[in-house]
Amino acid sequence: MIRELEEKDFIKVNKLLKDFNYELNKESFDNDFLKTLVYEDGFIKGVLVYQYIYNRAEIDYIIVDNNYRKLGIATKLLKYLEDSYNLDNITLEVRESNKEAINFYLKNGFKEVTRRKNYYKEEDGILMIKNLGE
């Protein structure tokens, strides 16, 4: 089941986010632009954190528990996001070394727009977009 984040989920979701040095807190829960979807099947197996502004979304993170990768959870979260709004596009930024994520996004219709030199201090960031409003 995919649903929006609830306050009771913070501890479980933050366990998944810890590898990215990112944490959701009460302030992020009350933010009208920052949204979080969770994939729950007995417990939270995946998380999609995004910002929704007008007719576009920017993905901050898609994270799936290591034990449940390659089962389509990230694809389902992405599809749910696409179907939830009348979006013109979805954008994101990914480390150039994160080949698994880059391949996932390419497979799901994203295209590389540009590279941001040394965006992550030691490596470039790749800006990607998926146009939906065309």
| pLDDT given for residue 10 in this prediction | 82
Instruction: Give the HSE-up count for residue 55: Cα atoms under 13 Å, Cβ half-sphere.
Output: 8
Closest CA to 34 of 21, 23, 19: 23
Task: Give me the count of residues in the chain.
Answer: 134
Question: Total domain count for the chain?
Answer: 2
Please check whether residues 78 and 97 belong to one and the same domain: no
Closest CA to 113 of 82, 91, 96, 87: 91
42 SS3 class: coil
**pLDDT of 75-131, one tens digit each?**
999 999 999 889 999 999 999 999 999 999 999 999 999 999 888 888 999 999 999
Please check whether residues 78 and 93 belong to one and the same domain: no
Please check whether residues 20 and 33 belong to one and the same domain: yes
Please check whether residues 56 and 120 belong to one and the same domain: no
Query: In this model, does residue 14 exceed pLDDT 90?
Result: no
**pLDDT of 30-46, one tens digit each?**
677 778 888 888 889 99
| pLDDT given for residue 107 in this prediction | 96
CATH number at residue 23: 3.40.630.30
Query: In this model, does residue 24 exceed pLDDT 80?
Result: no
